[in-house]
Chains A and B, each alone.
Chain A
Amino acid sequence: MFRNQLARGLEGLIMLSCKQASQLTSQSLDRPLTLRERFALQLHLMICKYCRRFSQHLQTLRAAIGKMVDSIENNDTIKMPSAAKKRIADQLATNRPQP
């Protein structure tokens, strides 16, 4: 009896909705969560496979973004348009270095 009340009390105190859990999951990529937030999020992830998936998806997304940017940075076939290069060269010619 007391146990049930305690469980319900704890639940109300720390149970997150999926919406809240997804917000915390996203924020955990941007800042350290507080102890309480971490605990609540872990508890939610333990019982919610959809939020576990969501969390994995954000990890996948971050890794994929890194790969995508690397692949653009290292793609030698992408060149600055020659018109832009010429424009910059002209500008440099009129802006001499400071003595």
Chain B
Amino acid sequence: MTTANMHDWLNDHGDFLYRFALARLRDPHLAEDVVQETFLAAIKSPSFAEQSAPRTWLTGILKHKIIDVMRKNVREIAASDLMDDEDGNMDEFFDETGHWAEKPLAWDIPDNALEQQQFLSILQTCIDKLPAKLAQLFLMRDVHDTDNEEICKELNITTTNAWVMLYRARMGLRKCLEINWLGGLKV
């Protein structure tokens, strides 16, 4: 194994790793950075010559690099105004008696592929409207489906805090989808 092989890996797997990171971090520069860190960690790893499934191995390293980014994000979310209220400051969603301020509508998700594509693109827009760090935590949780305890342990936050953050993200996303995806909605 030589540096040349690692260059082959960069050519063969670089784009995939970049897309993997981009899908979760939603920031091209951050994605480039974690892919770069991944290759540098890989070439310094003593076991790099023995890898028979480089893409899987590199993706594993990349996940940890992404979790490192999350760890920093969560610390910042926890310290920000966003988390001032214990139950996540949900005043905009509920009235003082705990009832829905705006009642959730009935969604009618189309099977039609084109409309699904539209739905997914609205979803992307809505994710990008969330505070970036919150969006990344949410994607990490709901995409990887990594065990919550494990994420919390890796991120070094209390479990309750993570639940509140994820709740906020889901409430914001649901509302945004409902507002922006009017085509398929019925009252």
Interface residues of A (CB under 8 A from B): 17-20, 22-23, 26-27, 29-31, 50-51, 53-54, 56-58, 60-62, 64-69, 71-73, 75-76, 78-81, 84-85, 87-89, 91-93, 95-98
Contact = CB atoms under 8 A, between A and B. Distances in A.
Nearest to A23: B167
B6 interface: yes
Given A84-B36, A92-B39, A97-B43, A30 B14 contact: no
A31 to B, nearest CB: 6
Contacts of B100: 18, 50
Given A53-B104, A61-B177, A30 B148 contact: yes
Interface of B: 1-3, 6-7, 10, 14-20, 22-24, 28, 31-32, 35-36, 39-40, 43-46, 48-49, 87, 90, 93-94, 97-100, 103-107, 109, 116, 119-120, 123-124, 139, 141-143, 148, 159, 162-163, 166-167, 170-171, 173-174, 177-178
B174 A57 contact: yes
A18 B98 contact: yes
